[in-house]
Amino acid sequence: MIDMQLVFALKGIMNQKGINQRELADMIGKDETVISRWFAGKVGISRSSVELLEKALGEKLIKDKQHNMKKALITGVTGQDGSYLSEFLLEKGYEVHGVIRRNSSDHRERISHLEGTPHFHLHYGHMEDSMSLVKVVTMVRPDEIYNLAAQSHVQVSFDSPEFTADVDATGVLRVLEAVRAAGLENTCRIYQASTSELYGKVEEVPQNENTPFHPYSPYAVAKLYGYWIIREYREAYNMFCCSGILFNHESERRGETFVTRKITLAVARIAQGLQDCLYLGNLGSLRDWGYAKDYVECMWLILQNDKPEDFVIATGVQHSVREFAYYAFKHVGIELEFKGKGLDEIGVCVSDNRHSVHKKDTSLVGKALIKVSPDFYRPTDVVNLWGDPTKAKAKLGWNPNKTSFEELVKIMVDSDMAKVAGEGAAAKVRTNLAEYLEKGIVK
Ligand code: NAP
Ligand code: F7E
């Protein structure tokens, strides 16, 4: 019998102690290929080998506690939500398994601080590849799956609609089928990352669980399939699967091309004299923005509910893109006034009280710091999202207003101010180093 628990425990200890496969082989006097075969799940680890390993490593491979640990599998673990959810579940005492994509270059910065910590394990898998999902679900045998992986950018879904459908629609079906193939349909609970984009060309405000859907992008249409296939499997096979209909949630880990992060990064760069102007699309678009760190708790609460149900997760507070930009600039001491309409609208600086460290010789007063570009307009845009979290509050006891809009803006701007300043300092060190090398000052 191949016990992957043992393999995960062994890998965790090796990571912790910084021991590689070859070194481990030397420590226990075995060939490295034996260890490779354990790791690939091709052969089990015998009782005598376990004893040998425990003696060499000075650690118990399976601790009593581990037998009772709940196992969660997260697709999209490298994303904004995946990283916060991993932290949250580890804190709750879960064994967390994340699915990552194989890429030619790694971009795992959101979870790099978790790699190598006990009870956190990564596996390769792709939403387009059912075999990879069957393999990982069968091997991990999770108690809970959080299906967060998606092509999550609405504008990109107009450029890559087929890929978006494959990952965001059929991908959900593949996860459900993987659970059935592993024989876990009666034990494994599944959370599906659904979205307020389902309301699209909205038919009522605010939106709740009973509001009709009207998807308005290839992304939303794909996510609507995900929503319905989850409901179908719940009814057809009695599976515990639920959708969280999440409204926009942001953070300092948000991807840089989503509007909030694009704004906070630009604010930091403009405040530090590294950028002149920020180009945006529809400034009048309205969103219900929450803090991602608060929202992952709700994903977990949905799966701890007595019965499988879908929930709207939102703050119940709405702001425009223009307002987000206004508050972000204000936080660094730059006051904006918006003038004009449509493509001619500009955000002009009317007072410049930046911290002196960032203040350059020239004041920004009178400069247009925001301009509109048609490049960021969408063929069809969702312009009035406003969620009603009453059900989540009442049934899950979730607090939708833990972090206010103003606090969210502040968290994101402060983080980007530090990031940009840090990059500036690092760039200066690199420039100096290049100069020193050229002059032969350092060898
Ligand atoms: P995100 O930062 O864009 O992360 C998406 C994740 O999915 C990344 O880990 C990405 O991996 C992975 N992924 C993409 N395509 C994949 C594929 N073909 N196979 C395997 N993994 C793949 O998104 P997020 O903001 O954390 O959102 C998480 C989920 O919630 C998504 O499903 C999104 O659609 C949904 N959602 C988000 C919001 C929001 O406001 N954030 C609101 C409602 C719903 P790489 O790192 O390799 O790219
Ligand atoms: O756009 C407008 C844009 O790209 C918000 C995803 O997480 O939330 C996200 O989708 C609004 C739109 O997010 C720019 O037209 C103006 O009306 O930040 P966004 P999104 O499209 O709401 C939902 C809930 C998800 O499920 C998605 O996965 O802002 N906007 N100017 C702009 N948007 C962008 N990106 N860039 C601009 O320059």
What pLDDT, on a 0 to 100 scale, did the predictor assign at position 441? 47
The whole-angstrom separation of Cα 198 and Cα 255 is 21
Using CA of residue 44, residue 47, residue 48, residue 49, what is the dihedral sign?
positive
**How would residue 438 be classed by pLDDT, with cut points 50, 70 and 90?**
low
Query: Is 248 a residue whose pLDDT tops 90?
Result: yes
The whole-angstrom separation of Cα 299 and Cα 149 is 14
Question: Using a 6 Å cutoff on CB, does residue 126 contact ligand 1?
Answer: yes
The whole-angstrom separation of Cα 149 and Cα 82 is 8
Question: Using a 6 Å cutoff on CB, does residue 76 contact ligand 1?
Answer: yes
What percent of the chain stands above pLDDT 70? 93
**How would residue 301 be classed by pLDDT, with cut points 50, 70 and 90?**
very high
Could you tell me where the DSSP H helices lie in 154-288? 154-159, 161-165, 171-181, 218-237, 259-271
Query: Is 358 a residue whose pLDDT tops 80?
Result: no
The position carrying tokens 């939303």 is: 220
- Whether omega before 206 lies within 30 degrees of 0, making that bond cis, reads yes
280-299 in b/e form (b: 16+ CB < 10 A) is bbbbebbbbbbbbbbbbbbb
**How would residue 62 be classed by pLDDT, with cut points 50, 70 and 90?**
confident
Task: Let me know how many helices (H) and strands (E) the chain has, helices first.
Answer: 16, 15
Instruction: Please report the DSSP string for 217-234 in residue order.
Output: SHHHHHHHHHHHHHHHHH
Active site residues: 195, 197, 219
What pLDDT, on a 0 to 100 scale, did the predictor assign at position 6? 82
Q: How far is the CA of 151 from the centre of ligand 1 (A)?
A: 6
Q: What are the backbone angles phi and psi of residue 49, rounded to the nearest 5°?
A: -65, -40
Query: Is 439 a residue whose pLDDT tops 80?
Result: no
What pLDDT, on a 0 to 100 scale, did the predictor assign at position 387? 98
Distances (CA, A) of 151 to 83, 146, 344: 16, 16, 32
65-69, 196-200, 369-373: least confidently modelled range: 65-69
* Mean pLDDT within 239-252: 98
What pLDDT, on a 0 to 100 scale, did the predictor assign at position 434? 59
Q: How far is the CA of 152 from the centre of ligand 1 (A)?
A: 5
What pLDDT, on a 0 to 100 scale, did the predictor assign at position 433? 52
Q: What are the backbone angles phi and psi of residue 98, rounded to the nearest 5°?
A: -115, 145
| More confident of the two residues 52 and 335 | 335
10-14, 133-137, 339-343: least confidently modelled range: 10-14
* Mean pLDDT within 287-308: 98
* Mean pLDDT within 18-44: 89
Name the token pair of 4: 């992957």
Name the token pair of 57: 């490593």
Ligand 1 site-directed mutation target among 74, 77, 81, 315, most atoms within 8 Å of CB: 81
The string of pLDDT tens digits covering residues 209-225 is: 999 999 999 999 999 99
What pLDDT, on a 0 to 100 scale, did the predictor assign at position 443? 45
Query: Is 156 a residue whose pLDDT tops 80?
Result: yes
Question: Using a 6 Å cutoff on CB, does residue 290 contact ligand 1?
Answer: no
Question: Using a 6 Å cutoff on CB, does residue 197 contact ligand 1?
Answer: no
**How would residue 315 be classed by pLDDT, with cut points 50, 70 and 90?**
very high
Ligand 1 site-directed mutation target among 105, 152, 198, 261, most atoms within 8 Å of CB: 152
5-14, 179-188, 340-349: least confidently modelled range: 5-14
- Atom number in ligand 1 closest to CA 196: 43
Please give the model's pTM, rounded to 2 decimal places. Answer: 0.87
Q: How far is the CA of 214 from the centre of ligand 1 (A)?
A: 22
What pLDDT, on a 0 to 100 scale, did the predictor assign at position 1? 38
What percent of the chain stands above pLDDT 90? 81
Query: Is 117 a residue whose pLDDT tops 80?
Result: yes
Tell me how far the alpha carbon of residue 240 is from its chain's centroid: 23
* Mean pLDDT within 77-102: 97
**How would residue 2 be classed by pLDDT, with cut points 50, 70 and 90?**
very low
Q: How far is the CA of 146 from the centre of ligand 1 (A)?
A: 11
**How would residue 9 be classed by pLDDT, with cut points 50, 70 and 90?**
confident
The whole-angstrom separation of Cα 195 and Cα 173 is 17
What pLDDT, on a 0 to 100 scale, did the predictor assign at position 442? 47
* Mean pLDDT within 64-82: 89
The whole-angstrom separation of Cα 120 and Cα 102 is 18
